[in-house]
Amino acid sequence: MVSVAEMPEITSPIIVNQPEPIPKSEIERGMIEIEQLDFKYGAHQVLHDVTLSIPARAVTAFIGPSGCGKTTLLRCLNRMNDLIDSAHITRGSIRIEGIDINAPGVDVVDLRRRVGMVFQKSNPFPKSIFDNVAYGLRIAGVTKRTLIDEAVEKSLRSSALWEEVKDRLHVSGYGLSGGQQQRLCIARALAVEPEIVLMDEPCSALDPIATAKVEELIRQLKEQYTIVIVTHNMQQAGRCSDHTAFFYLGRLIEFDGTAKIFSNPAQRQTEEYITGRFG
């Protein structure tokens, strides 16, 4: 619990003007390194020896046929798999900004705040739109009304929802359309100012227009956030990602720039999948 007095005052909600040179360290803010990761559900191994470096402030797409482990890998990144009994990493490590997130001293609550997540099925809380977005802040102990108001507006603007909902912030989030609900979930995730946003097939339940809006949003967000998106939709990966990782049967088959993967994949399996010969 943090008292208001401890809270640093800010004048501008977005930009903190503090031009400092970025150190030329190999560790970059928001970067994720996965090394030789094995993952099991009980006795069933779903990830085999995955090694992958996800660049910061870019959109990385995970593609592959159903059951290839891409969602599992995504959920490893904010340790959401902790919630599932009998699911565990058996080998390898995941480092975010150089810190092994599975190390014993790591505070998983803090990790999750910094690695936001948007789920396949939009899951707004049965609260008002405002309370949905403010939830994460209140949980973190932010009590000052003005701070929350600002953050909510900022997040709703970032998720391109502000104009649509600004007059009805206090009605239930359930009243929104599917696409709006999903964008509300994105806004909710952004409100706690994560560095990384994980998206698990965010558009699978949306119609084409809503999908287009969310995709547009994703393209904008990569300016500030590292985005990892799992998708079934090849076009979507092509449209909005910078890098693409192709998974098959729990293995990372190929990882490269999206343009390269889609035009000239190195692996035969990738090509077959992309051209729609299986999957």
Partner 1 sequence: MTFPRMLPPMEGVADPRTLIPARTSSRRAQAALEQGIKAFFGGNALVAVIVLALITIFLFREGFGFFGQNLANLRLYRQAGLEYVDIIRGVSAKHEALSRSLSEIRLREVRTMEKRNAPVEEINAALAPFDQFATAFSDTAENLHGIVSDLTDQASALKEALFARAELLAQRNQLEHSAAQAAAAKIIVPEVDRTAALASLREGSANFESVSAEMTAQLYSLLAQAPPLPDPAAQKAFEQWKTRTREYLAGLPAASEKLRTWSPDAPIPWYRSISSFLFGREWVTASFWQDWYGIIPLLVGSILVSIVALIIAVPLGVASAVYVSEIASSHEKRLIKPYIEFISAIPSVVLGFFGIAVVGQAVRTASQSSFFKWVSFFPISERLNIFTAGCLLALMAVPTIFTLSEDALRNVPRGFKEASYALGANRLQTIGRVLVPASLSGIVSAVLLGLGRVIGETMVVLLCAGNRIAIPDFTQGLGSIFQPVHTMTGIIAQEMGEVVRGSTHYRALFMVGLVLFTITLGINYLAQKFVTRYRMSIG
Partner 2 sequence: MIAIASNSRRVRRIEGVIFWLLRLATYFILACATYIFLDIGIKGSRTVFTSTPPFINLPFLTEPPQTLYVFAYEGKKMTLSDRQFRQWKVEHAGTEVEASSIAYSAGGIWPCIVGTALLVIGSMALALGIGISSAIYLSEYSRNGRLIRLVRIAILNLAGVPSIVFGLFGFGLFVIFFGWNVSLIAGWFTLGLMVLPAIITASEESLRAVPQGLREGSLALGASKWQTIRKNVLPYAMPGILTSSILGIARVAGETAPIMFTAAYAMKDEMPWQVAHWTDFFFQGVMALPYHIYVVSSKIPQNEYTERVQYGSAFVFLFLVMLIALTSIVLRERSRSRLSW
Give 225 or 248: the residue with its C-beta nearer to partner 1: 225
**Which one of 137, 214, 228, 229 is in contact with partner 1 (CB under 8 A)?**
137
Residue 49 to residues 34, 38, 76, 84, 106: CA-CA distances in angstroms?
10, 5, 14, 21, 23
Exposed / middle / buried, residue 134 (Cβ in 10 Å: 0-12, 13-18, 19+): buried
Determine the Cα–Cα distance for residues 199 and 122; give it in Å rounded to an integer: 11
The least CB distance from residue 244 to partner 1, in Å, is: 24
Q: What are 256's strand-pairing partners?
A: 244
For the four alpha carbons of 15, 18, 21 and 24, in that order, the dihedral sign comes to: negative
Q: What is the DSSP letter of 258?
A: H
The least CB distance from residue 112 to partner 2, in Å, is: 5
Within residues 185-244, the interface with partner 1 by CB under 8 A covers 192-195, 223-224
Stretch of 65-73, 83-91, 136-144, 209-217 contacting partner 1, by CB under 8 A: 136-144
The least CB distance from residue 36 to partner 1, in Å, is: 22
Give 42 or 105: the residue with its C-beta nearer to partner 1: 105
**Which one of 5, 24, 25, 276 is in contact with partner 1 (CB under 8 A)?**
25
**Which one of 24, 26, 83, 105 is in contact with partner 1 (CB under 8 A)?**
105
Is residue 189 a contact partner of residue 214, using CB atoms and an 8 Å limit? Answer: no
CB atoms under 10 Å from CB of 4, counted, come to 11
Q: How many residues bind partner 1 (CB under 8 A)?
A: 43
Determine the Cα–Cα distance for residues 143 and 160; give it in Å rounded to an integer: 25
Give 25 or 66: the residue with its C-beta nearer to partner 1: 25
Give 47 or 190: the residue with its C-beta nearer to partner 2: 190
Determine the Cα–Cα distance for residues 183 and 61; give it in Å rounded to an integer: 19
Binding interface with partner 1 (CB under 8 A): 1-2, 6-8, 10, 13-16, 18-20, 22-23, 25, 27-29, 97-99, 101, 105-107, 109-111, 113-114, 137, 140-142, 147, 151, 192-195, 223-224
